[in-house]
Structure formats: C-alpha cells, structure tokens
Amino acid sequence: MTSKKKYWKQSLLLLIALIILVMYDLTLGSYAVSLQDVFNGIFRYNETNSEEMTVHVFRFPRVMTAVFAGIALSVSGLLMQTLFQNPLAGPYVLGINSGASLLVALSTMSSFHILGSDVGLVFSAMIGAFGAGLFILISSLYVKNKISLLLIGIMFGSFAGAMVNVIQAYADPNNLKTFMLWSFGSLQGIEFEELGLVGGLVLIGLFASILIIKPLNLLLLGDNAAHLLGINVRLIRLFIILITALLTGVITAYCGPIAFVGLVIPNFAKMIYKTANHYHLLFGSALAGAILIVACDIAMQLLSPYLNLPLNALTALIGAPVVMWIIMRKF
C-alpha cells in the first residue's frame, strides 16, 4: 500500500468513526429517539411530534456544534504549532480567547452592555475575539520574529485575564453567574437556523487553510529556508493569524472557551499519520477534533443523570494529562 493510500485509509476510518459517534449522540438524551425520528427531525420535522422537535431544536444543533468546534479548534491548533514550530502551541496562545472573555466580562458584569441578551453575549465574544486577532495582526507587522509575536500574545492574554479579574471583583453576583456559565463552555449556544452561518465560517477557514498547505510545509524548514524558496513569510504569518482568529473567534463566541482541543489533537494526528505533510494533517486533525468533541458530548449525556460536567472541564481533564505526556516525551 502506497503512503498516499495509507493516509486516505486512515482518514476514511476517522470519518466512519465520526459518523457512528454523531448518529449515536443524536439518539442520546432524556429519552430515546429512533433513527427515523432523527432523519425527520433534521429534514422534515413535524411540530406536533415531540421526538422530531427535540432532534430539530436541541440535539442536531448540539451535535453539529460539537463537529464544527472540533474542526475549527483542531485546525487552528495545527496552524499555530506550524507557525511557532512548537508542539505546545494552541489556538488560544495568541490571546484570542482572552479578548473574547474580556468583552463578555465587560458586557455581562459592567455598565458596558452590547444588546444585553444572549445575542449580545455572542456579539461581545465575537468582537473581543476579532479585536484580539486584529491586535496580533497589527503587531505581526512590526515584530521581526515569531517568538516575539508569541510573547506579545501571551502578555496580551495575561493583561486581558487581569482585567477580567478586576471586573469580577466588583461584579453583581447574578451577572458574575452569567459570565461563569459562559466560561464553562457549552454546545447549546447555536440554534438550528444559525448552523449554516457557523458551519459556513468554519468551512471558509478550513478552505483557506488548504490554500496555504504548500507554504505551511515549507515553514517547517524554518523562516529563512522558506523565504529562500520563494515564500513571503510575513504574509503567510498574517494569513495564519487571520484564519486562527476566524475559526477560534466563531467557536469561542458561541461555545465559550474550550481548552486543550487545539493543543492535543494536532499532536495526535501527527502520531497517527506519521507525516509532516499538512495536506493529510489538516484533514486528520479536523476529523479527530470533531471526534473528540462529539465523544465529550456523549460522555456528558451519559453522565448527566449522575454528574453535570462542564465541557471546558471535561476537555481539560482529558487534555492536561496528554500535554504532560507530550512534554515528557519531547522535551
């Protein structure tokens, strides 16, 4: 079997596993539904049928949100690890989630309100995420190397986190609760009618990543070597940051901060595929990321009668040991 066939076979196995998990997840909840109810709930639901309505209103948006979140965060993580050539870089390393958290904190816990509703919460997170991405984009025009850019992102994240702590110290308890619930992470923030918008933005980010596969592969040789081979390193750096801001910003806005997915999954894909070719790693990371978030949602559904676990806590429980293993293995 040629290497290319081997990689596509691995991707096909991941896709089959994802489809099985998605179908299983759609049947989970407070009461069981059949696959026929799932089909009807997605394509031709009857408002008088409670099973079909449950699928249409709650389960299908939740499961598809898990798929989109896994794809977006994993691809962002792969881009960040390539940009900084560091297996411990993730989509939040540039402070994009910190920008989202800061605007959400301002909107929910101070007199600075944006629309003042669930729509306002999403809008606040989106503005914060893209504002942080814009700041990093502008910074990248002035710094000479990626290490400096990494440090700027870390410092921005620390500054935004400190501002959030100050706001929390003076917040009303009810407003503080709203912010904390958002920060736990959730897959319930997207309605059926919004799936097209969110999915479209994620696919745009994925397609844009595919367009720069060759420069991504050359970046692995180092900035100087990539430049000698005809790559505009600064332009590619800007493009990577823009894609990361789009993917991470959209998911953080609707789902809250979801930790470790973008850090762990690209490393997992590299171990499974055993290649540095981003053509295969992009698809592998996207599929594996979607599998992880859907599996987390399945775990939360199965544990819900006994224990309510926030999504962010569950991904951290899985991701933190993996990160420690990566550090012990590679450093």
Alpha-carbon span 167 to 8, nearest angstrom: 49
pLDDT score at 21: 95
- For the chain, the structural domain boundaries read 3-330
pLDDT score at 119: 64
Tokens linked to 82: 């390539």
What DSSP letter does each residue of 255-321 carry, written as one string? Answer: H----SHHHHHHHHHHHHH----HHHHHHHHHHHHHHHHHHHHHHHHHHTTT----HHHHHHHHHHH
- Least Cα distance to 89 among 74, 105, 70 occurs for 74
Token pair 């599929």 is at which residue? 287
Alpha-carbon span 131 to 104, nearest angstrom: 13
pLDDT score at 18: 96
Class of domain 3-330: mainly alpha
pLDDT score at 89: 79
Q: Chunked in runs of 10, what are the mean pLDDT values of the chain (331 residues)? A: 76 94 88 80 80 85 95 93 82 80 81 57 77 81 76 87 88 81 85 89 94 92 84 87 86 86 91 90 95 94 85 86 76 56
pLDDT score at 107: 79
| pTM score of the predicted model | 0.89
pLDDT score at 72: 94
Alpha-carbon span 46 to 72, nearest angstrom: 32
pLDDT score at 50: 80
pLDDT score at 188: 87
pLDDT score at 12: 93
pLDDT score at 331: 56
pLDDT score at 113: 56
